[in-house]
């Protein structure tokens, strides 16, 4: 029986992950389909046939990044919630130290493509909402356990911390030592911590 479709060995998920890395590093406009094909080791015709246009592939890549963001938000569900929120923020600086200049794909895409690209806007919003909801859940747990002040509005504070995360991604790109921004994280968490708690983040 004759088989049709993509050639054997074409790993669609791996191609999408590779495209994510390239779009993340270079941005949407600066990345051509030819460069994507060369970087991913796939013939341009096969790439287009399997995954559509550059915009189609970008949306798949951005969706994969959103899935990663959602998974990161879910990780803060366990352990000390305030420590988990700190780890999420510090991961921004760790990533900036390892891969300088890359930033956050959600933030980068928002700056480059919004508000004109509605499909990208929905994905960026979804990724930021996932982070916000994960942080809010952690803060509510921390409030119940006495780590966070009782007078804190957890929903508002979660939005503030997501805004801080996106700001850290941008500011860290200009820093020779991204961990110079550790004190910003310290200040943000100290402002909401219950001073009587023995389990400080």
Which structural domains are found in the chain, ordered by start?
63-190 (1.10.357)
Q: Is the pTM of this model over 0.85?
A: yes
CA quadruple 5, 7, 9, 15: dihedral sign: negative
Residues whose CB falls within 8 Å of the CB of residue 16, separated by 6 or more in sequence, listed in order: 51, 57, 60, 61, 64
- pLDDT of amino acid 67: 95
3-state secondary structure of 68: helix
pLDDT tens per residue across all 201 residues of the chain: 333 444 434 689 999 999 999 999 999 999 999 999 999 988 888 888 889 999 999 999 999 999 999 988 887 766 689 999 999 999 999 999 999 989 999 999 999 999 999 999 999 999 999 999 999 999 999 999 999 999 999 999 999 999 999 999 999 999 999 999 999 999 999 999 998 876 656
Ramachandran bin of 42, using left for φ above 0, alpha for ψ from -120 to 50, beta for the remaining angles:
beta
* DSSP strands (E only) in the chain: none
pLDDT at 44: 82
Structure tokens at 181: 């921004």
């Amino acid at each position: 029986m004759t088989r049709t479709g993509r050639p054997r060995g074409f790993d669609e998920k791996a191609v999408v992950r590779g495209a994510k890395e390239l779009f993340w590093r270079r941005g949407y406009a600066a990345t051509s389909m030819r460069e994507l094909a060369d970087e991913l080791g796939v013939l341009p015709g096969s790439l287009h046939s399997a995954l559509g246009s550059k915009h189609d592939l970008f949306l798949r890549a951005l969706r994969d990044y959103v899935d990663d963001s959602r998974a990161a938000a879910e990780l803060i569900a366990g352990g000390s919630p305030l420590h988990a929120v700190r780890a999420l923020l510090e991961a921004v600086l760790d990533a900036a130290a390892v891969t300088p200049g890359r930033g956050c794909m959600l933030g980068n895409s928002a700056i480059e493509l919004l508000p004109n690209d509605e499909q990208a806007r929905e994905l960026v919003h979804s990724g930021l909402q996932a982070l916000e909801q994960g942080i809010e859940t952690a803060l509510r747990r921390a409030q119940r356990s006495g780590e966070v002040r009782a007078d804190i509005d957890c929903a508002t504070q979660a939005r503030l911390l997501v805004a801080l995360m996106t700001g850290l991604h941008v500011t860290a790109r200009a820093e020779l030592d991204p961990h110079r921004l550790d004190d910003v994280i310290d200040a943000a968490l100290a402002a909401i911590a219950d001073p009587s708690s023995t389990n400080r983040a």
